[in-house]
């Protein structure tokens, strides 16, 4: 049964994603979920840093598994990489929880079209916490990802699913994988914009404004020093 789920589940998740996306475009005219109160700048920065950390680790391992396996051959390097990944996952979980709190407040206030965003953000938070649990509870989880999950993902791309290793993995690992499939299928129906989870422009704009203000203030500081 597990082998069947992991062989066909990802394809059903992709089909669900495409169907929900076409519904958004065709029926709802790509109408996004109504905006709610923003989170703090620090929370947005935590989201961007956490998402970038998690994505870089996963994408690097998927694109260059051989190089990553060589890097993971040293236990000390594994400890460093898993610690960085854990921090990134915690930052994402913190940011998602803050976004979810705003959506729940809007839902209770009677703002329409908040049920989908609340459900999907709650699911994403569970995925993040599941990843944190795996990193803390199972040593060498990064090695498992490089040696088992990456070949499994690649086999899905080539329509030749290799499910034996994933199906034989611990229950928590299988549950995490199934949650990701469910998230992929459900995301488009929520009307959430990716900007809500990866506000890179807002963070970059604030960083640029802060840097510009420091540069503009530098001459006056120098003049004040000379006046002394």
Q: Please, what's the b/e burial string for 179-200 (b: 16 or more CB within 10 A of its CB; e: otherwise)?
A: bbbbbbbbbbbbbbeeebbbbe
Distances (CA, A) of 81 to 5, 11, 129, 179: 30, 30, 18, 23
Mean pLDDT of the chain: 85
Rounded to whole angstroms, how far apart are CA atoms 180 and 58? 14
With cut-offs at 50, 70 and 90, classify the pLDDT of residue 212: low
Segment 149-157 mean pLDDT = 90
Q: Render pLDDT for 53-101 as a digit per residue (tens, 0 to 9).
A: 999 988 888 888 888 888 888 888 888 888 999 999 999 999 999 999 9
CATH 1.20.950.20 fits 2-197, yes or no: yes
Q: What is the pLDDT of residue 216?
A: 63
* Domain ranges for the chain: 2-197, 200-228
In this predicted structure, what is the pLDDT of residue 2? 79
């Amino acid at each position: 049964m597990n082998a069947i789920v992991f062989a066909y589940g990802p394809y059903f998740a992709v089909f669900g994603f495409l169907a929900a996306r076409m519904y958004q475009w065709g029926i709802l005219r790509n109408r996004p979920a109504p905006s709610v109160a923003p989170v703090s700048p620090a929370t947005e920065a935590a989201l961007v840093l956490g998402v970038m950390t998690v994505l870089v680790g996963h994408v690097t391992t998927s694109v260059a598994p051989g190089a990553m396996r060589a890097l993971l051959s040293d236990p000390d390097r594994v400890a460093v990489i898993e610690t960085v990944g854990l921090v990134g996952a915690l930052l994402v979980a913190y940011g998602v929880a803050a976004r979810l709190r705003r959506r729940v407040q809007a839902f209770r206030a009677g703002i329409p079209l908040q049920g989908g965003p609340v459900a999907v953000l709650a699911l994403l938070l569970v995925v993040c916490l599941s990843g944190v649990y795996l990193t803390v509870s199972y040593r060498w989880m990064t090695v498992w990802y490089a040696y088992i999950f990456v070949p499994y993902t690649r086999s899905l791309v080539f329509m030749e699913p290799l499910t034996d290793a994933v199906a034989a993995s611990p229950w928590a690992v299988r549950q995490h994988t199934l949650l990701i499939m469910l998230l992929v299928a459900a995301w488009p129906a929520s009307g959430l914009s990716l900007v809500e989870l990866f506000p890179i422009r807002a963070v970059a704009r604030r960083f640029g404004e802060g840097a510009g203000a420091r540069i503009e203030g530098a001459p006056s500081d120098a003049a004040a020093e000379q006046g002394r």
